[in-house]
Structure 1
Amino acid sequence: MDQLEIMLKKIAPIIMNCQKKTAIPSWELDDYMQEGMIIALEMYHQILLNPPNTPFNFYVYFKVKFSCYLIDQHRKATAFKRKFDQLDYYELSETINLFDQRQNVSENVMYDLLCQEIHLFLTPEEVRLFEALKRGEKIDRNQKYRIKKKIMDYIKRYW
């Protein structure tokens, strides 16, 4: 194995680590590996053409350069002017937890509308407690009773 192949094997963990820190939409692991190896080869050829005067760690230099490159690519991919190029929908795997699976679509829509109306007439503190209840957190029994009574009165009055 020559020096270039050894270098490319040693940068794979660096690329994987950088991939975890900077997730670019629509990129897969192969994209990260390909771009990382391209950058590493460009750096390697630059070093061969212009050897540095002082010794340095190639892998540290590569990590910094590749991290900056990923940040630039992430900014380009999520730029405001490219919002129109992005998908207008959510992947099914991302939205599967948004709705109760035992209810049909119309029941879920009604539930969402009711929650929005409830947020309008509750105080900010009551909204915080209401959201805690929806997440299944424990709150004081008296506060829970007051919120429940307020919501039930609203429903009886307007529905």
Structure 2
Amino acid sequence: MMEFKVIYQKVAPIVHRTRKDYYIQLWEQEDWDQEGMLVLSQLLESCPGIEHNDGELFRFFKTKFRNYVLDMLRKQESDKRKLNRQNYEEVSDVAHKLYVREMAMADQIILRDMLAQYRKQLTLEKQDQFDRLMGGETFRGKKEMLRDLKSYLKDFG
């Protein structure tokens, strides 16, 4: 089998072209190369001998890598939509968090976990109200739930 680096150099232009076509948050050049190597490694495992046929190698790698990148984009956009559905907060209440464009991934994970724990301890009726709150709907008891949630999340900030 050919050396992995030599094979990757053949498909690296596909990775770089894909990088110009798509934007994934927080991915830099090294991240793109690393993900490209990961996809190439998986391709070489699943299709032994493909490294000897450049035409198939390019075609298969381009398809597999672009599909991988599109999956990452879908995940990125899904995360954005989840954040957009969260309840409204006054800017003055969260001004100390505005130094970054979005919440750090670690903060998002902690917040999601805390919200899941909060939801778990609610009654079924309150869970339905909580889901409506996260969806941006209005309902009777919304202000009370927001106050309760705010006190529950006081240690998050």
TM-score by length of 1: 0.46
TM-score by length of 2: 0.46
Q: Quick check: which has more Rg, 1 or 2? A: 1
